[in-house]
Amino acid sequence: MSKDKPVRTIDARSLRALAHPLRVRMLDSLRLDGPATSSRLAAEFGENTGTVSWHLRNLAEHGFIEEDVDRGTKRERWWKAVSSTHVLHSSDMRKDPESRGALEVYLQEMLRELHAKVDAYITEDWSEEWERAGQLGNWDDLRLTPVQLRSLNDELMAAIERYYPPEGTEPEPGSLPVSVQIQAFPRREGRN
């Protein structure tokens, strides 16, 4: 999470608004690829513009996106992701029966999006330099307490934070967008 962006904690009401597969994908597209119109997003996702417009208004109503007033005309409305970091405390949502379903929909769609990004990475051709720079890893043999796991996650987030450029800085020549996926959570033990 970039230190230059405000942090917004997603509450139960906002989570229910976000918990729709198309909304998750549209928000991800606006974050990664920049502003777009409803017609561009409709073409990207194979949906009709009326459906996309309705979902965009819903995302805007809950503060995830906003109209990009510097673009477009009276006939063409552009939307952009709000520049903030979203934090979701899933443990709070799991305890609330009304929020639990929305949480499951949101997390499942987020996992599908993460899988799609990994799949795109491994199926595309990259230069040797990029191939050697990327990594997919798995460490299943750590044994940690909850305090140690929290510490590990905090240290990983701090390391990532150091690589965020200051707001308004141009990307370095030769750089590409990079997806960093870290999954650090407990697992149930199998047979002993």
Q: What is the pLDDT of residues 101-128, one digit of tens each?
A: 889 988 999 899 889 889 989 999 999 9
Residue 188, judged by CB atoms within 10 A of its CB (0-12, 13-18, 19+), counts as: exposed
Those residues whose C-beta lies under 8 Å from the C-beta of residue 189, and which sit 6 or more positions away, are: none
What are the chain's domains?
A: 7-135 (1.10.10.10)
User: b/e map of 85-113 (b: 16 or more CB within 10 Å)?
Assistant: ebebeeeebeeeeebeebbebbeebeeee
Answer yes or no: are the C-beta atoms of 78 and 72 closer than 8 Å. yes
Mean pLDDT of 17-45: 93
pLDDT tens digits for 125-139?
A: 999 999 999 988 888
CA dist 12 and 2 (Å) reads: 24
Mean pLDDT of 31-52: 94
Q: Which stretches of 124-163 are DSSP H helices?
A: 128-133, 146-161
Residue with the two structure tokens 């999006």: 113
Angle subtended at Cα 149 by Cα 184 and Cα 102, rounded to the nearest 5 degrees: 55
Output the CA torsion sign for 124, 130, 132, 137. negative
